[in-house]
Structure 1
Amino acid sequence: MNTRMFSLPGRMSARGAANSSAVGVAARWGLAARGVLYVLIGLLAVRIAFGEGDQQADRGGALAELSKQPMGSPLLWAVGIGLVGMALWRLSEALFGAAGEGGHKARKRLMSAVRCVFYGFVAYSVLAFAGGEGGSGSGSGDQQSEDVTARAMELPGGRWIVGLVGVGIVVVGVWMAVRAALRKYRKHLKVGTMSRRARQFTDVTGVGGGVARGAVFAVVGVFVVRAALTYEPDEAKGLDDALRSFAATPVGPWLLVLVASGLTLFGLFSFAMARWRRV
């Protein structure tokens, strides 16, 4: 009986270690999968800036591009499964708390829950595309944004709902950019195991990529707010149109090149996080 009592903590510890290891693998696979999508979206946007691309610079365009590559189908499945891992990792954070200081706070758990839902949806769309349902993953993000906005506006107080969502997206975009500029991601890194070059690489890609990603989110939010103000659902834009809007500024396509390069950097940053993030 005593032997059982003393062996129970050992069993629980071993089980916890196994669960932690599984979550770690899921998280790193998910971060790498996110990196693949952002690198492809960034490259597609660069091609658009130079007038060479006829595909959408969004998730659908990235999946279509990936499917054309050698071993395209297995790659699609790998990305989809990786994003499932990302969703499960965020779910574990929502239920049990995240690694690091303050990881058990209610606010951080709520944020993890929101990310879980988001990545669960993205994973579903990628896996549906990999399974042959092309419209599920490769449909125009711009059209989807218009459709969702139109349905939301039909609800009681729909314009207010759409407007508040748009403002929320702008705030999230600015928050992303500011946190990246302040290098807040460093607290999640295993800095002690990183070389000086690895830290420099993470800073360049983390700051440049995070600011560009935040800027794109903010622009998407501005379009949603405009749709609410004008009561025109087609004013709401997805990622592709948001990126193309940078080329319509006085700076011209070079601003789009800069932002697109930033999204590619964020993809590389995701690879770095897959290697050195504490999970």
Structure 2
Amino acid sequence: MNQILIKPQFEWGARIGYAARGIIYLLIGGLAVMAVSGGGGKTTGTKGALKSLLDEPFGQIMFGLLALGLFCYSGWRAIQSIKDADNHGNNAQGVAIRIGLFISSITHLLLAIWASSILLGFGSSGSSSNQGGLITHSWGQWLFGIAGLAIVAAGGAHLIKGWKAGFEKYMDIPQSQRVWAVPVCRIGLISRGAVYCIVGFFLVSSVWIAGTGELKSIGEALSWLRDQPFGAWLLGIIAVGLFSFGIYSSLEAVYRRIDR
């Protein structure tokens, strides 16, 4: 097995990044649970969850720390992809996983830049977009269609990882905590995978059926769930699952195996 040198500061950066992602999903899931139970919450995505902090005591400090954590997480994802820190290899499956990690690095970098711009007072709060200019070109339609399929594929990977508990080979969860931690992690991954599949389906259908190229957010996917038959139950289940994914990410911050 190939080994690379993970410097201590990179290891700490990775753990800070996992913790930041965990807090964000705890907020997303918690707000959605409150929305279902009538506690005053709302269905929102990553940007909405972050912005919900700004009106809280010490909210700007927490907002800034999470932005820093997102930069750390983006950097760690880049190391995972480029340096193959988890030894996925160079075969077709390994390359596909590493490409996915690199895309995750870019998306979290953009989220971190957005959060920084909000903190500095010149950012935009928009969460979805209609890429009308690109969709008028045939290559734009294919681009957005492929992006939608990639999101669905990422969701499917989460579903499989959660169902098979594939995360265990990357984590050193103490035996005393496995009885609750492993089921929570599995539920969290499956729930996030389901939401990703919905978001990807939205994008594919908007491109190839409606021809709009409209990119939906996690919050909009949750709102769509709420409007379905038995929507309150569906949203409640997924909300608890996303909260569980926040716990999973928080556990990664502590128990993720980052070989040095």
Q: Normalising by the residue count of structure 1, what TM-score does the alignment of the two structures yield?
A: 0.82
Larger displacement relative to structure 2 (34-43 or 60-69): 60-69
Q: Give the Cα separation in 2 of the matches to 1:45 and 1:185.
A: 25
Pairwise CA RMSD: 2.2
Which residue matches 2:157?
Answer: 175
Query: Aligned to 1:98, what secondary structure does the other structure show?
Result: coil
Structure 1 stretches (4+) deviating beyond 6 angstroms?
A: none
The answer for the alignment partner of 2:222 in structure 1 is 243
Q: Which stretch of the first structure deviates more once superposed, 242-251 or 263-272?
A: 242-251
Q: Distance in 2 between matches of 1:111 and 1:54?
A: 32
1:35-46 maps to which residues of 2 (within 5 A)? 35-46=22-33
Q: In the alignment, is the contact (CA less than 8 A) between 1:96 and 1:104 conserved in 2?
A: no
Of structures 1 and 2, the one scoring higher in RCO (CA 8 A, sep 6+) is 2
The one of 14, 25, 33 aligned to 2:20: 33
Offset at 1:51?
A: 5.1
Structure 2: 5+ residue stretches without partners: none
Q: What is the match of residue 11 of structure 1? A: none
5+ residue gaps, structure 1: 1-15
Measured against aligned partners, the alpha-carbon deviations of 1:137-157 in whole angstroms (never above 9, x if no partner) come to x32x2xx2x323x23312333
What CA distance in whole angstroms lies between the structure 1 residues aligned with 2:28 and 2:85? Answer: 29
Deviations along 1:244-274, one digit per CA (max 9) or x if unpaired, are 1112222221110110110011001111010
Contact kept? 1:162, 1:224, Cα under 8 Å:
yes
Q: Does 1:196 align with 2:176?
A: yes
Map 1:34-183 → 2, pairs under 5 A: 34-50=21-37, 53=40, 55=42, 57-99=44-86, 102-105=87-90, 107=95, 108-135=97-124, 138-139=125-126, 141=127, 144=128, 146-148=129-131, 150-183=132-165
Mapped partners of 1:88, 1:42: distance in 2: 25
Asked which structure has the greater CA Rg, the reply is: 1
Paired AA for residue 22 in structure 1: Q
Provide the C-alpha distance between the structure 2 equivalents of 1:103 and 1:226, rounded to a whole number of angstroms: 32
1:174-226 deviation line (CA, Å, top 9, x unaligned): 121111111000010124xx1322x2332122111101100000001111121
SS at structure 1 position matched to 2:138: coil
Q: Could you say which residue in structure 1 is the equivalent of 2:11?
A: 24
Paired with 1:151 and 1:187, the residues of 2 have a C-alpha distance of 44
Which residue of structure 1 aligns with residue 167 of structure 2?
Answer: 185
The size of the alignment, in residue pairs, is 251
Q: Note closer, same or farther for the CA distance 1:212–1:50 as it changes in structure 2 (3 Å cut).
A: same
Structure with a larger share of its residues in helix: 1
The alignment status of 1:273 with 2:260, answered yes or no, reads no
One-letter amino acid matched to 1:207: R
Structure 1 residue 232, shift from structure 2 partner: 4.2
Tell me if structure 2 keeps the 8 A contact 1:55–1:61: no
Query: Structure 2: which amino acid aligns with 1:40?
Result: L
